[in-house]
Structure 1
Amino acid sequence: MTMRRFIEEMRERGLVDEIVEPVSTRFEAAQMAAKTDRILLFRDCGGKPAVMNLTAGRPALAAALGAEEKDLVKRLADASYSGRLNLMGTLEMHPVDLSEIPIMTFFPKDGGPYITAGIVFSRSGEVENASIHRMMVVGNDRVAARLVEGRHTDVMHREALAAGVRLPIAVVIGTHPAVTFASCTRVPEGKELAFAAELMGGELPVWECANGVLVPDAEIVLEGYIGTERAEEGPFVDITGTYDFERIQPVIEFTGMHTKPDPIYHSILPGGNEHKLLMGVPYEPRIYKAVAGVTSVRNVVLTTGGCGYLHAVVQIRKNTQGDGKNAIMAAFAAHTSLKHVVVVDEDINPFDMGDVEYAIATRVRGDRDLMVIAGVRGSSLDPCREGDGTNVKIGVDATMVLGEEEKFVRARWDA
């Protein structure tokens, strides 16, 4: 399965808007993507084909991962990361020219054009990592990549430099969204491609680049290395819709480029719903499994309004009166960037924020059902965090009191 085939499947479901008139890569494409969750297929974006909002809605993401929307979290929680890779051969490369790609500038204060849906595959010995990094164009064959300190790509890069070599990498753009999702997920070391293969039915074709890095099918593959060169990167809009500051970051030098005929460039809107879903949904199964250790969990949602990252709704079936608060603590432990958690009963739809607000309105007493936790680690993306990185977290137990359920029965025509 390829990205092109996925787009056609979504077109058959009526989820794709095709834009035939010319669209600028500077702000215009981003503004159009910000107004909808539908997949936008541009036929002329800076003179080239491009797609945005590929998985900006949960229906499209669930379809990409082979699940029903309501069952997605449980399916992901049961993953074994056991898919197989099928080596198809080597990729032929041609000289790199980033101007051939419709790389976008999204907001007025952006440091420059940014690759936002590029998956960086890096290899050290037998271990291959895959993760998404924002990459700002700094030359016709170079980008400055934001490598978060302590994450796997950063660790592998530092180890390579310590050994006196450059880190071989390949940037993949325009692959099946299951591969993109797997690359955004915290998995056992080196298991991103195996996870993608599992999500796609058990097997994934891969090709080898000249530098030894394995890559899946994609519209564009950029082969290269991360060495000692560094450059200024930023500003850039992050998941909260606010600007991240400028940093000095490692430079990726590209040495080869492979494209399909008339390639479709995939771009993710910074702070848009696709960005939020890819950041947040991978944490939902982690929270699900953690809460399952303390009570009967039914579903977990990281909400769009909570930036897809900072707010969670946890649906449970209470077995004891303390289960709501236990679920809150388990959720905070599983995803330390969470800021606010609401726990609801089985009769509340965790995907419907009106229903969640109803639970807060009718089932919460502030003196009994709120947990306020000060001085704990928060998300580095939250503008409210203290200078030392700490924040205040709030848990809301919006569940019914056991033994008093009759007081909360909702009038329905089907019951």
Structure 2
Amino acid sequence: MPTSVAPSVSRATDIVDLRSALEFLASIPGQLVSTREPVDPVAELAGVYRLVGAGTPVMPPTRIGPAMLFESVKGYTMPVVTGVLASRLRTALLLNSTVERLPFDLLDALNHPHTPVVIPASDAPCQQVVLHPPFDLRTLIPAPTNTLKDAGPYFNMGLIRAEDPETGESDVTIHRLCLQGPDLLSVYFVPGRHIDAFRIKAEARGEALPVSISMGLDPAVYLAACFEPPTTPLGFDELTIAGGLRRRPVELVQCVSVNAKAIARAEIVLEGEILPHERIREDVQTNTGFCMPEFPGYLGKAQPSLPLIRIKAITHRLHPILQTIIGPGEEHVNLAGIPTEASILKLVNDSMPGKLLGVYCHSAGGGKYLAILQFKKSAPSDEGRQRQAALTAFAAFPELKHVILVDEDVNLYDTNDVLWAMTTRYQGDVSTIFIPGVRCHPLDPSQSPDFSPSIPADATSCKTIFDCTVPYRLKERFRRAEFVDVDLKRFLP
């Protein structure tokens, strides 16, 4: 495949991998740009995409723009693509959906799963080229460094797949992977992640945990992999959701060097083992004290002791493309947020069908911290149920920090409209519900005793509901001015 992308795939239903996704995007004006200008993977590549299309919460100036293919990366022959999912509209296009329908379509895929299938190695594009040690990951694959303070180069779109050493149940998750040597990666697990649970079990037995790391994938696979409990409990295979999105099973292939399976249509697969009882300081190469930009928009702290993965083989397609993501930004918002929206919809609609009309995990919260819920009150008995929906959202996604409730006449995707509701339908003393002392996501820098005396320990937060809905008894008083419907094509052909 040439590095420049020709638009030969014209329908989202024909997407089967990253390449066909890029071909599809190339057929739509404004969704993919390519550059042959040489770019340095150390900080420069991320600096360019910050201005092109990274989006909030990357520090301004930034914007939502096209995906970008860097065809000439200094020191490497492999191109790098970023921003494939860095637009909600583009994500919807890639899934044959709409901006509003995305969480509903993910929920439908959850309810109509397709179990993955294992195909022969001869049919797996990811094994067209097989490399055994000795090799040096750092010279073969252009893993970017996002800022000059990063702990090192990172693979941050690596989908790790592993199996429970006791039950054989599988899981897939994206974790940040820092290159620590020719064949070594450190891996950071937020506490509670399922593959970390597998690692802990293997380590207790004195065993390494075999893993595959697949990079450059069908966007449906990446989105499905970002579902979290309680929607997908321990032992749930998120690849079944990806199959549901595409209405066909995801194809796997047996690894060549470890007892694990990889995504057969990946661009690149790293095969390896998480080593038992071996740890490394994340910034051991640079001593900066930082890891990389995290999804809240700040540089994350380097972890003092992380598990190590030793890579046993590299397999890839002919002329592979590395896929990456800017740490914070709209791509993380969509990867984390859209599955969360589906999870919230599921739990709320299970308890009060038809009341929750929509959910948006806002960019300002990185797709994790802030959700806007659109709730419809149809009777006096519905008053208060909107707050129950917010509490259910916190139960559905424990890392959620703030919920804003709005009525059905408010566009939850329009921040101006949401702030209008907060201005005209909200009184701080009666419309705010505080839930202090609740465990939240560890990367929020404000949840510290230094910030508030109400916080007993790091990673504990005061979760808050902002009820910007009109009391049912007052709905007539808050009816928005209605305008005449017109055919705009008469005036703006």
Whether the TM-score (by the shorter chain) exceeds 0.5 is: yes
Amino acid at match of 2:207: V
Tell me which residue corresponds to 1:63: 93
Amino acid at match of 1:352: D
Structure 1 position 165, deviation (Å): 2.1
Amino acid at match of 2:470: M
Dislocated runs of 4+, deviation >3 Å: none
1:24 matched to 2:40 = yes
Task: Flag the structure with higher strand content.
Answer: 1
Tell me which residue corresponds to 1:232: 281
Tell me which residue corresponds to 2:69: 41
Kept after mapping to 2: 8 A contact 1:128/1:213? no
Amino acid at match of 1:5: S
For structure 1, which segment, 137-146 or 65-74, has the greater mean C-alpha deviation from structure 2 after superposition? Answer: 65-74
Residue 222 and residue 5 in structure 1: after superposition, are their counterparts in 2 closer, same or farther (change >3 A)? same
CA distance in structure 2 between the partners assigned to 1:7 and 1:69 by the alignment: 19
The alignment's TM-score, normalised by the length of structure 1, stands at 0.95
1:128 matched to 2:170 = yes
Structure 1 position 161, deviation (Å): 2.1
CA distance in structure 2 between the partners assigned to 1:376 and 1:150 by the alignment: 16
- Equivalent of residue 54 in structure 1, options 78, 84, 93: 84
- Equivalent of residue 277 in structure 1, options 310, 318, 334: 334
Gaps of 5+ in 1: none
1:13 matched to 2:28 = yes
Kept after mapping to 2: 8 A contact 1:119/1:171? yes
Amino acid at match of 1:330: T
Tell me which residue corresponds to 1:93: 130
C-alpha distance after superposition, 1:334-356 (max 9, x if no partner): 22222221111111111100010
1:171 matched to 2:213 = yes
Matches within 5 A, 1:350-361: 350-361=412-423
Tell me which residue corresponds to 2:243: 197
Amino acid at match of 1:201: R
Matches within 5 A, 1:191-270: 191-210=237-256, 211-216=258-263, 217-228=265-276, 229-234=278-283, 235-236=290-291, 237-247=293-303, 248-270=305-327
Residue 117 and residue 348 in structure 1: after superposition, are their counterparts in 2 closer, same or farther (change >3 A)? same
Give the secondary structure class of the aligned counterpart of 2:111.
coil
CA distance in structure 1 between the partners assigned to 2:241 and 2:148 by the alignment: 37
Tell me which residue corresponds to 1:153: 195
Tell me which residue corresponds to 1:393: 463
Aligned length: 415
Kept after mapping to 2: 8 A contact 1:77/1:285? yes
Matches within 5 A, 1:77-88: 77-78=107-108, 79-80=110-111, 82-88=113-119
CA distance in structure 1 between the partners assigned to 2:352 and 2:429 by the alignment: 23
C-alpha distance after superposition, 1:102-157 (max 9, x if no partner): 10000121111111101111124532221111011111111111123332111111
CA distance in structure 1 between the partners assigned to 2:209 and 2:198 by the alignment: 7
Give the secondary structure class of the aligned counterpart of 1:54.
coil
Percent identity, please: 31
CA distance in structure 2 between the partners assigned to 1:65 and 1:122 by the alignment: 26
Structure 1 position 81, deviation (Å): 5.9
Amino acid at match of 2:241: F
Kept after mapping to 2: 8 A contact 1:123/1:212? no
Kept after mapping to 2: 8 A contact 1:112/1:136? yes
Gaps of 5+ in 2: 1-15, 54-63, 122-126, 284-289, 450-456, 486-493
Kept after mapping to 2: 8 A contact 1:184/1:282? yes
Structure 1 position 190, deviation (Å): 4.0
Tell me which residue corresponds to 2:427: 365
Structure 1 position 222, deviation (Å): 0.8
C-alpha distance after superposition, 1:302-342 (max 9, x if no partner): 10012221111000111322122222222222222222211
Give the aligned CA root-mean-square deviation in angstroms. 1.8
